[in-house]
Chain A
Amino acid sequence: SPAQPATMNPARHWQKVLYERQPFPDNYVDQRFLEELRKNIHARQYQYWAVVFESGAVVQQLCSVCVFIVTWWYMDDGLLSVQWLFGAGLVSSLIGYILFDAIDSGAGRKENRRTRWADLKSTLVFVAFTYGFSPVLKTLTESISTDTIYAMSVFMLLGHLIFFDYGANAAIVSSTLSLNMAIFASVCLASRLPRSLHAFVMVTFAIQIFALWPMLQKKLKAQTPRCYIIVTVVFALSALTGLLTISSVGAVLFTLLLVSISCLCPYYLIRLQLFKDNIHGPWDEAEIKEDLSRFLM
């Protein structure tokens, strides 16, 4: 029979082929067995402080949500006047707008070829439309019970945090969905405020904090990391102070959350790298590295 190790020729080496009948048994284990095994080729070495720095994006977004809710709370309680919030929003937007161009001295603007006139136009269109539709926004979800509104807002804001683009290249990331969820939450919450002007200011504020603020942050992070750290810390402290005036328990829990995300989680990430045990070898599925869509264009 062909598979029998009939003539053991020591000079002949085993070959990793199936088409030839070799004088070796089928369960023969060659010296070169597992020679092509590679382990953890995608494992990365992290620096603790670099990870802490990167976690700033998550901290910032949590604080944004916190500031938004605190602001809404004040508006709902009548502690914050509409004019004041609108004025503060307008001033900070203007400062942010100037900073946005100042940070990279207009390089991004040149690249996008976007004029100031275009910016002004879209701002005017947006403000006009939101103002015009604010009575509709105010009454849109009025018939829905308040508990449902709160639950929906919580889910929408959680969704905003989950799908937000923190800079990771993952399938779950969708900045459009994330922004839409946040705006939807703001529309929901705005309907519980006393007047349609409140709704208008609330939705405008949501746009400022969920759409414009992250853009500025991203640029800050890329251009001036030092400033970014300071801004993050100040922003987190102000969010905490705001929360403290509403609920001290909430403030303590939120502090714990921020500390664990910016200090404990990076530590865990680095520790868990030691337990990584990924196996790679020629049996892995090959990857198509080139862009094949060009053949269809």
Chain B
Amino acid sequence: MACRRIGDQEQFLATAFSVVNCGRPPAWGIRTHSICMVSDFFYPNMGGVESHIYQLSQCLIERGHKVIIVTHAYGSRKGIRYLTNGLKVYYLPLKVMYNQSTATTLFHSLPLLSKENTVLRAALDPEIVSVIPNAVDPTDLTPDPSRRDNSTITIVVVSRLVYRKGIDLLSGIIPELCQKYPDLNFLVGGEGPKRIVLEEVRERYQLHDRVRLLGALEHQDVRNVLVQGHIFLNTSLTEAFCMAIVEAASCGLQVVSTRVGGIPEVLPEDLIILCEPSVKSLCDGLEKAMLQLRSGTSLAPEIIHNKVKTFYTWRNVAARTEKVYDRVADETVLPMDKRLDRLITHCGSVTGYIFALFAVLNFLFLVFLRWMTPDSIIEAARDATGPNGVWTKQYFHTQKRKEKEENSNC
């Protein structure tokens, strides 16, 4: 996959790849592709990857492409299902090994990293790596200042409680600030092995009424928690694209975060206070945010929301992904010997040969499968049009025009 998508569950996204096939005639000026998204994670499972694939597919369908999704069967949900707008999903009867992952995901789940790291580690030409941010649906994440308790200041943390999210730093920040400011409360959403550290701190400093640990949150409950706070704190030690801070800003919170990974690229300077990953620096950042709140110089939640909602939209992500597909479709497919050459020369003197061996085995397996079930006896699927032809492109085309008119009106 030539394009990179950054998400909150980046380690799984590596397996969500797309196969592009542009055998269909172009329509309405843009090239249309037949796109197959393959991922272990899809509805009815809920999460970042699942919604990413669903939303991206919907936007690509809207742009006139044909999209199918291949995933594994979830309980009795197997076979072929059609979702909204004729999004066809194949639930394959594969054996689930661990945590809703089939063998393939377990064997090649590489963490997705920054463009620099991807280029360096995989020895790629940087020109073929595109950086496309994740999208956030701003319609659900609206501010609600009436839910805030303005007699105090509430700092919200929503994160898995693990080492990589810097929960140890949080365990230093809580006592430091709570002792200094009696009108400060913490609201922590999320679950994980580091919860015990926070509980110990709460016990040690007698902060039961000021530090609330909410435990694991469903995605739909996140907004409910976010709108109760004034400041959002992110203490991550490493992050590709931090969805949490965008969601918090979308709910109108002032964001304070560590300056790690891709975080400085995510929000403009007036919406985020960046700190070094140390208790001292984060406390300084939080104090600055509290001072702005008290003096009334901080931006109003509504203003923050209106700024953030334009940043990361699904339509934008889909348009940019489409460009990558266009480019990939133009690439020539290398013959087998060239591919083996590339593996041997690019992947190290020893591992290169091992990779080449696996490639050959894979190829032989494909040949074997083709011999078992020849292409000629597989019936080609026909495009479904849906009830009253609502899934045809003509329908979307008119829809889209309507939307454009609406957009230009407002």
Can you name the residue of chain A whose Cβ is closest to the Cβ of B276?
A286
Evaluate contact between B278 and A290: CB separation under 8 angstroms. yes
Q: Which chain A residues lie closer than 8 Å to B113 at the CB level?
A: 283
A71 to B241, CA, bound (A): 64
Q: Which chain A residues lie closer than 8 Å to B356 at the CB level?
A: none
Contact of B241 among A2, A18, A21, A29 (CB under 8 A): A18
Q: Which chain A residues lie closer than 8 Å to B119 at the CB level?
A: 34
Evaluate contact between A18 and B237: CB separation under 8 angstroms. no
A29 to B119, CA, bound (A): 11
User: What is the minimal beta-carbon distance from B20 to any residue of chain A, in angstroms?
Assistant: 16
B175 at interface, CB cutoff 8 A: yes
A295 to B3, CA, bound (A): 44
Q: Which chain A residues lie closer than 8 Å to B278 at the CB level?
A: 288-290
Q: If A3-B319, A3-B320, A285-B238 touch, does A27 touch B171 (CB 8 Å cutoff)?
A: no
B132 at interface, CB cutoff 8 A: yes
Contact of B265 among A16, A279, A281, A287 (CB under 8 A): A16
Evaluate contact between B117 and A283: CB separation under 8 angstroms. yes
Can you name the residue of chain A whose Cβ is closest to the Cβ of B176?
A295
Evaluate contact between B201 and A286: CB separation under 8 angstroms. no
B169 at interface, CB cutoff 8 A: yes
Q: Which chain B residues lie closer than 8 Å to A295 at the CB level?
A: 171-172, 175-176, 201, 204
User: What is the minimal beta-carbon distance from B375 to any residue of chain A, in angstroms?
Assistant: 34
Q: Which chain A residues lie closer than 8 Å to B3 at the CB level?
A: 26
Q: Mark A1-30, 1 if CB is under 8 A from B, else 0.
A: 111000000000000111111000111010
B87 at interface, CB cutoff 8 A: no
Q: Which chain B residues lie closer than 8 Å to A21 at the CB level?
A: 316
Evaluate contact between A286 and B277: CB separation under 8 angstroms. yes
Q: Mark A262-292, 1 if CB is under 8 A from B, else 0.
A: 0000000000000000010111111111101
A33 to B266, CA, bound (A): 18
Evaluate contact between B200 and A296: CB separation under 8 angstroms. yes
Q: Which chain A residues lie closer than 8 Å to B258 at the CB level?
A: 286
User: What is the minimal beta-carbon distance from B61 to any residue of chain A, in angstroms?
Assistant: 17
B359 at interface, CB cutoff 8 A: no
Evaluate contact between A37 and B323: CB separation under 8 angstroms. no
Can you name the residue of chain B whose Cβ is closest to the Cβ of A33?
B126
Q: If A288-B278, A292-B168 touch, does A18 touch B120 (CB 8 Å cutoff)?
A: no
Evaluate contact between A286 and B260: CB separation under 8 angstroms. yes
A1 to B320, CA, bound (A): 9
Evaluate contact between A19 and B265: CB separation under 8 angstroms. yes
Interface residues of B in 180-229 (CB under 8 A from A): 197, 200-201, 204
**Interface of B, helix, strand, loop or mixed by DSSP:** helix
Evaluate contact between A33 and B320: CB separation under 8 angstroms. no
B162 at interface, CB cutoff 8 A: no
User: What is the minimal beta-carbon distance from B170 to any residue of chain A, in angstroms?
Assistant: 10
Evaluate contact between A29 and B200: CB separation under 8 angstroms. no
Can you name the residue of chain B whose Cβ is closest to the Cβ of A36?
B116
A285 to B111, CA, bound (A): 13
Q: Which chain A residues lie closer than 8 Å to B201 at the CB level?
A: 295-296
Can you name the residue of chain A whose Cβ is closest to the Cβ of B174?
A295
Interface residues of A in 67-104 (CB under 8 A from B): none
Evaluate contact between B114 and A283: CB separation under 8 angstroms. yes
Contact of B116 among A2, A18, A33 (CB under 8 A): A33
Interface residues of B in 73-128 (CB under 8 A from A): 113-114, 116-117, 119-121, 126-128
Q: Which chain A residues lie closer than 8 Å to B265 at the CB level?
A: 16-19
Q: Which chain B residues lie closer than 8 Å to A289 at the CB level?
A: 278
Q: Mark A37-48, 1 if CB is under 8 A from B, else 0.
A: 100000000000
Contact of A285 among B128, B164, B262, B311 (CB under 8 A): B164
A1 to B268, CA, bound (A): 22
Evaluate contact between B164 and A18: CB separation under 8 angstroms. no
A283 to B239, CA, bound (A): 8
A17 to B267, CA, bound (A): 8
A290 to B168, CA, bound (A): 10
A286 to B258, CA, bound (A): 9
Q: List 29 A-B contacts (CB under 8 A).
A: A3-B319, A3-B320, A16-B265, A18-B131, A18-B311, A19-B265, A19-B268, A19-B311, A21-B316, A26-B130, A27-B126, A27-B128, A27-B130, A34-B119, A279-B117, A281-B114, A281-B116, A283-B238, A284-B238, A288-B277, A288-B278, A290-B278, A292-B169, A292-B279, A295-B172, A295-B175, A295-B201, A295-B204, A296-B171
| A residues apposed to B, CB below 8 Å | 1-3, 16-21, 25-27, 29, 33-34, 36-37, 279, 281-290, 292, 295-296
10 more contacts with CB within 8 A, not counting A16-B265, A285-B260, A295-B176, are A1-B319, A17-B265, A17-B268, A27-B130, A34-B119, A279-B121, A281-B114, A288-B166, A296-B201, A296-B204
| B residues apposed to A, CB below 8 Å | 3, 113-114, 116-117, 119-121, 126-133, 164, 166, 168-169, 171-172, 175-176, 197, 200-201, 204, 237-238, 241, 258, 260-262, 264-268, 277-280, 311-312, 316, 319-320, 323-324, 327
